[in-house]
Amino acid sequence: MNITDGDASKRMWGERRAWMVHTQLEARGIHHAGVLAAMGTVPREAFVPRDVEERAYADMPLPIGWAATISQPYVVAHMSELAAVEPGDRVLEVGTGSGYQAAVLRELGAEVYSIESVPALADRARLRLEALGYDGIHVRAGDGTLGWPEAAPFAAIVVTAAPTEIPPALRDQLADGGRMVIPVGPLHIQELLVVTRRGDALQTRAIEAVAFVPMRPPMAS
Ligand code: SAH
């Protein structure tokens, strides 16, 4: 039997992905079957720059240029689990970065709206997601603190850059019963919060300490 390089490489990445799901996610208490399946499906190696490809499934964030990072796999899985996404949900992501978290949310059946402040990152993520065959993910360059009013309200909002306060527009664009997963705090260390809307009231639950890149004003293209 002939195995081409392509098949061997596909198999190697598939094995690394399965190992990541087992040792970094299941072993640390990620239970959500949909999240485990999504993390076992999205080819993380296609979302990282070539020079760090070898570490695609390592237990760490990786640099993707423009002072941005693709989050550690566990953090992506945990935030996706906390967002409690159901198929058909409209979900907003702030901080597209590589597009990896957006792809995971799409695998969970969400219609994804993702905003990135660096136009070059937004363009690359859009092209990458298209090349991988993802539809149902809308990427635009802009200021994520303003949300995406035309597509609101959102059943879930996943914020992957850290503001020092919850942006009011994001709060306003959360549907009744909707969940916002957001790191809030100063540079280097923030608290991951889950904010749930119940009518006009918001309930906030603190989850754990995290370190995200800071929320910043949009960059000119
Ligand atoms: N979710 C990404 C990782 C994002 S890193 C992934 O899966 O790869 C955080 C991203 O937020 C960076 O790309 C950064 O440029 C972006 N960002 C920072 N401030 C922002 C803002 N105000 N609006 C939108 N995106 C922002």
List the residue whose alpha carbon is closest to atom 17 of ligand 1. 95
The Cα–Cα gap between 191 and 151 comes to: 27
Amino acid at 133: G
* pLDDT averaged over 10-residue windows placed end to end, the chain, 221 residues: 75 98 98 98 98 98 97 98 98 98 98 98 98 98 98 98 97 98 96 98 97 87 64
**Which residues are designated catalytic?**
71
Quote the ligand 1 centre to 131 CA distance (angstroms).
Answer: 21
- Where b means 16+ CB within 10 Å and e means fewer, 183-193 reads bbbeeeebebb
Quote the ligand 1 centre to 206 CA distance (angstroms).
Answer: 21
pTM > 0.85: yes or no: yes
The Cα–Cα gap between 144 and 93 comes to: 8
Pocket test for ligand 1, best of 173, 215, 219 (most atoms within 8 A of CB): 215
Cβ atoms of residues 128 and 114 within 8 Å:
no
Please state the separation of Cα 34 from the chain's center in Å: 15
The Cα–Cα gap between 175 and 27 comes to: 33
The Cα–Cα gap between 140 and 117 comes to: 9
Which are the contacts of 186, defined by CB distance < 8 A and separation ≥ 6?
164
Closest atom of ligand 1 relative to the 95 alpha carbon: 11
Cβ atoms of residues 103 and 47 within 8 Å:
yes
pLDDT of residue 219: 74
Quote the ligand 1 centre to 95 CA distance (angstroms).
Answer: 3
Pocket test for ligand 1, best of 60, 75, 118, 132 (most atoms within 8 A of CB): 118
pLDDT of residue 221: 64
Closest atom of ligand 1 relative to the 219 alpha carbon: 15
